[in-house]
Chains A and B, each alone.
Chain A
Amino acid sequence: MLELKNINKTFNKGTPNAKQALHDLSIHFRPGDFVSIIGSNGAGKSTVFNAIGGSFLVDSGHIVLDGQDITFMPEYKRAVHIGRLFQDPLRGTAPNMTIEENMAMVYLRSNKARSIFGISSKERDFFRSKLQELGLGLEDRLKSKVGLLSGGQRQALTLLMATMTTPKVLLLDEHTAALDPATADKVLELTQNIVKAGNITTLMITHNISSALALGNRTVMMNNGSVILDISGDERDRMTVPELLELFKEKSHTTLDDDRILLTND
């Protein structure tokens, strides 16, 4: 489905600040995989997402999505097949446009030949039914500006917009980290429902180790720009949080160093 082959990326190349963020990284994601990605600060988790999403071009290696080599494809073209959510709930929506305008805008991705006279009532009904699935009451606020919504509502809307036309890959970069715990749970639950309904191949970066093990079917651990652990199936089902941390120590010869990491079951 999504394959990364020998990816290398160095930032600030040729200066004293040069940092190799991705180190000959190769990994293959199967169709329908829900992969949680964990690792220390600076392990290269977000860098992998930026490489897949096309925020920059990689120095060497290949990225193949569904048989198509997208290594040099510009970011906006990749977006047809790749949905992305960021930690910042403000990043995925336009605050001065209404909810329905935001949705119509993203809906253009699949529906190029729409009426030139604003949003049709058919589209509006479709948006309303989609919003209903969120269960946040947004279906009654189609004409509200998105800037008036809370962070959690905006993130839920972004999730809906990113998956309105089913993407081949969904990249979630700590998309619940900036939300309060109750809202985070709600958004995570919505994420699971939507991913399951569309059988979307999903990669999720998280700092919550227990949810990294609880969610999805595969867990990948990164360190220094490489994958150091990749578990799924029985091995993963049996894994506990302390065991995972011990394994990390063994593989990387350091402890999992991240002040934001959550170890406990909450």
Chain B
Amino acid sequence: MTLTLFQGTLEQGLIYSLVAIGLFLSFRILDIADLTVDGGFTLGCATSAIATLAGHPFLGLGLALIAGSLAGVVTALLQTKMKVQPILAGIITMTALYSINLMIMDNRANLPLLKCETIYSWAAGFLPEDYSKIILLAVIVLLVVLAVFIFLRSGTGLAVRATGDNPDLVRSSSINPHNTITIGLCIANAIVALSGALLAQYQLFAEITTGTGMVVIGLASLIMGEAIIGRGGILRCLIGCLVGSAIYRLIIAIAITSSMQPSNLKLVSAIIVALSISWPAIKEKLEIQKLKRAAGK
């Protein structure tokens, strides 16, 4: 693998690590499998692309954050106030977002951003040219990590964490768990949309299908990160998201340079996620087999 390819892999790893961080908030902290992510990622791409086309790349990031958090609020309202099952709530929002994303993209499935001013071309103006992208992305991702870390240790953050751990405790602390779920999903989806916004300007196009399978990709990164870094404190988990995401992109890069079809990667991701989540159950079965064999002797 060439150095340029490796650097590109790291850059993409940084961009996609935000998806893993968003899923860390919804899947690990709130204990909700939030499928809004598939639509929310494309939503970020679309808003970012439209603003970039209009000559406002930074506004694009801001709009993506707002649009993403709105998507999170819709999912949260569906599952708290309307009592829709959490998974279904995410699917409903994701489905609605498909049409909304097309509307934002002016009913075109693909929006090229060639020759547009982007945040990367802005950074290249004053940073060493070869490293401008990676420095800019590292700064943005670190800011997000820091913000999430501070938030999760604040009073509201504690309440959000307790919501996934023991909702009874949240209620008995006189906090409405509906509010904490809404806050959590709002932040998670804002971060996911930011990831999409960064990607659209990075690859210089937005496409309606970009977000497909993003939940599974994000979970695969999250779980690989946890396997390597461990699941200790919050900071450790957040760093795990970065590492896991980088490794995931590395696997993809290797697959692309070898003869493997890149389209098979979603299958690989699905297998990684299925295996790692079912690992405790598999382990238990293996141990029972072992006990049985030992008893048979």
Chain A residues packing against B (C-beta within 8 Å): 74-77, 79-80, 83-84, 91-97, 101-102, 104-106, 108-109, 112, 114, 116-119, 162
Contacts and interface: CB of A to CB of B under 8 A. Distances in A.
B153 A118 contact: yes
A74 B173 CA distance: 13
Contacts of B166: 91-95
Interface string B157-173: 01101100110111111
B165 A96 contact: yes
A171 to B, nearest CB: 10
A105 B172 contact: no
A96 to B, nearest CB: 5
Contacts of A94: 161-162, 165-166, 169
A75 B173 CA distance: 10
Which secondary structure dominates chain B's binding surface?
helix
B278 interface: no
A193 to B, nearest CB: 21
Given A116-B154, A118-B154, A84 B159 contact: no
Interface string B127-168: 000000000000000000000001001110011011001101
B158 A108 contact: yes
A244 to B, nearest CB: 32
Contact of A105 (B169, B176, B177): B169
Interface in B162-191: 162, 165-166, 168-177
A67 to B, nearest CB: 19
Nearest to A91: B168
Which secondary structure dominates chain A's binding surface?
loop
Given A93-B169, A95-B166, A96-B165, A109 B158 contact: no
Contact of B158 (A76, A83, A91, A104): A104
Given A80-B174, A92-B169, 19 more contacts: A76-B171, A76-B172, A76-B174, A76-B175, A77-B174, A79-B172, A79-B174, A83-B172, A93-B169, A94-B166, A94-B169, A96-B161, A97-B165, A102-B169, A104-B155, A108-B158, A108-B159, A117-B153, A117-B154
A80 B176 CA distance: 12
Q: Which 4 A-B pairs have the closest CB atoms?
A: A94-B165, A118-B153, A79-B174, A94-B166
Considering residues B150, B155, B162, B175, which has the most beta carbons from chain A within 10 angstroms of its beta carbon? B155
A77 to B, nearest CB: 7
A119 B153 CA distance: 8
A76 B169 contact: no
A105 B174 contact: no
7 contacts: A91-B168, A93-B166, A94-B161, A94-B165, A94-B169, A101-B158, A108-B175
Considering residues B158, B159, B176, which has the most beta carbons from chain A within 10 angstroms of its beta carbon? B158
Interface of B: 150, 153-155, 158-159, 161-162, 165-166, 168-177
Nearest to B166: A94
A74 B172 contact: no
Given A105-B159, A116-B150, A74 B176 contact: yes
Contacts of B174: 76-77, 79-80, 109
Nearest to B28: A96
Contacts of B150: 116-118
B179 to A, nearest CB: 9
Given A84-B172, A105-B158, A76 B165 contact: no
Given A94-B166, A105-B162, A76 B154 contact: no
Contacts of A79: 171-174
Considering residues B159, B170, B173, B177, which has the most beta carbons from chain A within 10 angstroms of its beta carbon? B173
Considering residues A76, A92, A95, A102, which has the most beta carbons from chain B within 10 angstroms of its beta carbon? A76
Contacts of A91: 166, 168
Contacts of B158: 97, 101, 104-105, 108
A97 B162 contact: yes
B151 to A, nearest CB: 8
Given A105-B162, A108-B155, A92 B168 contact: yes
Nearest to B175: A76
B155 A114 contact: yes
Contacts of B171: 75-76, 79
Given A92-B168, A95-B166, A106 B155 contact: no
